[in-house]
C-alpha cells in the first residue's frame, strides 16, 4: 500500500470544523478527519506513491498548477449535507467555481490517483470519517454546516502510513 498521497486541496476553517464534529456517525469508524488542519476538500488527487516526491518533482507540480492559479479568484463554498462512499462519510460541498477549478487542473498534465473520480465524475466533498466496513443505509442529513471564501489552495503530501493521514503543505497558492 502506498505511503504518500499528493493532493491539491484547501482546508476548512476551524469554526466549521467545530460544527461538523457534532455530526453523529451511526457506524464504527477507523479514522476521523474532523480536526483543524486535517478537514479539507481535495480539489485534485494527484498521486499515490511509496516515497516522498523530490524537490524537482514538487517544483514541476508547482509550475503546472501556477499556470492555472495565476488568474484564479477567491471563491465561495457551502458545506451542506452528508453523503457517503462505501467506506467514507463526507460533507457535501457546493461551489460551481470549485468544479471549474477542478476541471482546469485536469487539463495541465498532472497524474491522477483515479481518473474515474475526475472531470464530470468529480464529487466536491470533505471526508468526515473512514468506516471500518461499508455502510449500506441511507443518510438523511441536509443541514448547512457553513460557508466560507477559499482564498488559498495548497499542494499537500499526506503521510498515510500506520493508518494516519498527516499532512505536510509543500506550497500555498494565494488566490486573487
pLDDT at 82: 97
Task: Give this prediction's pTM.
Answer: 0.93
Separation CA 96–CA 101 (nearest Å): 9
Q: What residues have CB less than 8 Å from 3, skipping those under 6 apart?
A: 49, 50, 51, 159, 160, 161
Which residue stretches of the chain are H helix?
Answer: 14-20, 55-69, 96-105
pLDDT of residue 128: 97
Burial class (CB within 10 angstroms; exposed 0-12, middle 13-18, buried 19+) of 7 = buried
**Integer Cα distance of 134 and 118 in angstroms:** 22
Write 112-116 long-range contacts (CB < 8 A, 24+). Answer: 112/44, 112/45, 112/46, 112/47, 113/5, 113/45, 113/46, 113/47, 113/48, 114/45
Cα 76 from chain centroid? 15
4-174 fold: Cyclic Phosphodiesterase; Chain: A, (3.90.1140)
At 84, give phi and psi (nearest 5°): -150, 145
Residues of the chain with pLDDT under 50: none
Give the pLDDT of residue 95: 99
Distance CA 43, CA 124 (A): 8
pLDDT at 163: 74
Amino acid at each position: 500500500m502506498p505511503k504518500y498521497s499528493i493532493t491539491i486541496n484547501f482546508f476548512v476553517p476551524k469554526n466549521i470544523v467545530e460544527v461538523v464534529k457534532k455530526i453523529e456517525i451511526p457506524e464504527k469508524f477507523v479514522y476521523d478527519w474532523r480536526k483543524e488542519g486535517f478537514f479539507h476538500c481535495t480539489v485534485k488527487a494527484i498521486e499515490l506513491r511509496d516515497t516522498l516526491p523530490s524537490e524537482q518533482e514538487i517544483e514541476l507540480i508547482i509550475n503546472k498548477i501556477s499556470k492555472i492559479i495565476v488568474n484564479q479568484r477567491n471563491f465561495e463554498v457551502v458545506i451542506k449535507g452528508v453523503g457517503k462512499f462505501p467506506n467514507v462519510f463526507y460533507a457535501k460541498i457546493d461551489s460551481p467555481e470549485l468544479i471549474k477549478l477542478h476541471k482546469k487542473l485536469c487539463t495541465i498534465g498532472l497524474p491522477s490517483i483515479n481518473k474515474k473520480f475526475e472531470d464530470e465524475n468529480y464529487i466536491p466533498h470533505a471526508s468526515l470519517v473512514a468506516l471500518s466496513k461499508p455502510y449500506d443505509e441511507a443518510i438523511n442529513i441536509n443541514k448547512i454546516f457553513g460557508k466560507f471564501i477559499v482564498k488559498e489552495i495548497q499542494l499537500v503530501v499526506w503521510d498515510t502510513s500506520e493508518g494516519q493521514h498527516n499532512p505536510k503543505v509543500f506550497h500555498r497558492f494565494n488566490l486573487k
